[in-house]
């Protein structure tokens, strides 16, 4: 059964995945159909993962909603989006940090980096200097633009990548899948952090 964007948003709100008015607004303004493969456009608003090729996927909407609610992106922040894939999370972040914030989208697969950048360009975030796409290893982050207020990692890692931790501001937040848990890391000093874990999620591995 196919559904509309409005039906998906209603479902995500009713089930408690979407709560914050600004994040709900971003989900309504950034259309997931702009970030899936052409043959999957009619399935864009199903609450499901969809393939992007190269062994990668566009995350399930409820998972993206959950991770954004944990991070609470705000206007003016600088965010690192690791494993940016289709560009959907990059566009959502760009909407939430505009007009003066910045999102660095980091993707290791060139074809996906180009696909994501092309998709985000539909919203003028690249032209306005809000979103910047970098081809690189997500585990290493992007030190040139560090430190970051928030970091999202959209692929599973066995541990918190040390380079990403170093690039996070003190009091900054990182959300990443550790094995099958979504973890919220809050950096309290150069060496310490608080961690909350939310079990029951499955991600592609961080490559």
- pLDDT tens for residues 155-189? 778 889 999 999 999 999 999 988 778 999 999 99
pLDDT score at 180: 79
For residue 203, what pLDDT band results from cuts at 50, 70 and 90?
low
**What's the number of CA atoms in the CB half-sphere (13 Å) around residue 120?**
30
Confirm whether 59 is a catalytic residue. yes
Instruction: Please identify which of the residues 59, 86, 154, 157 carries the catalytic annotation.
Output: 59
Give φ, ψ of 36 to 5 degrees. -110, 165
Report how far apart, in Å, the C-alpha atoms of 89 and of each of 43, 187, 188 are: 18, 22, 26
Report residue 49 CA to chain centroid gap.
14
Name all domains of the chain by residue range, CATH numbers in brackets.
Answer: 5-199 (3.40.50.150)
- pLDDT tens for residues 69-120? 999 999 999 999 999 999 999 999 999 999 999 999 999 999 999 999 999 9
Question: What is the pairing mode between strands 56-58 and 50-53?
Answer: antiparallel
Total-model pTM: 0.94
Sequence-ordered list of residues with C-beta below 8 angstroms from that of 104, at least 6 positions apart, any chain: 78, 79, 80, 81, 132, 134, 142, 145, 148
List alpha helices for 98-154, DSSP H.
110-121
């Amino acid at each position: 059964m196919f559904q509309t964007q409005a039906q998906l948003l209603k479902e995500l709100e009713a089930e408690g995945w979407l709560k914050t008015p600004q994040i709900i607004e971003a989900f309504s303004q950034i259309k997931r159909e702009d970030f899936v493969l052409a043959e999957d456009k009619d399935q864009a608003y199903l609450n499901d993962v969809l393939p992007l090729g190269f062994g990668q996927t566009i995350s399930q909407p409820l998972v993206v909603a959950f991770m954004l609610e944990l991070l609470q992106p705000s206007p003016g922040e600088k965010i690192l989006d690791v494993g940016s894939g289709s560009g959907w999370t990059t566009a959502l972040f760009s909407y939430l940090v505009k007009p003066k914030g910045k999102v660095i989208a980091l993707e290791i697969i060139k074809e996906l980096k180009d696909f994501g950048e092309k998709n985000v360009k539909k919203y003028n975030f690249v032209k306005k200097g809000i979103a910047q796409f970098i081809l690189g290893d997500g585990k290493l982050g992007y030190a040139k633009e560090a430190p970051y207020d928030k970091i999202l990692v959209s692929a599973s890692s066995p541990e918190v990548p040390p380079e990403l931790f170093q690039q996070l501001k003190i009091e900054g937040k990182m959300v990443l899948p550790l094995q099958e848990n979504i973890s919220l890391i809050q950096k309290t000093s150069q060496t310490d952090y608080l961690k909350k874990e939310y079990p029951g999620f499955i991600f592609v591995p961080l490559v």
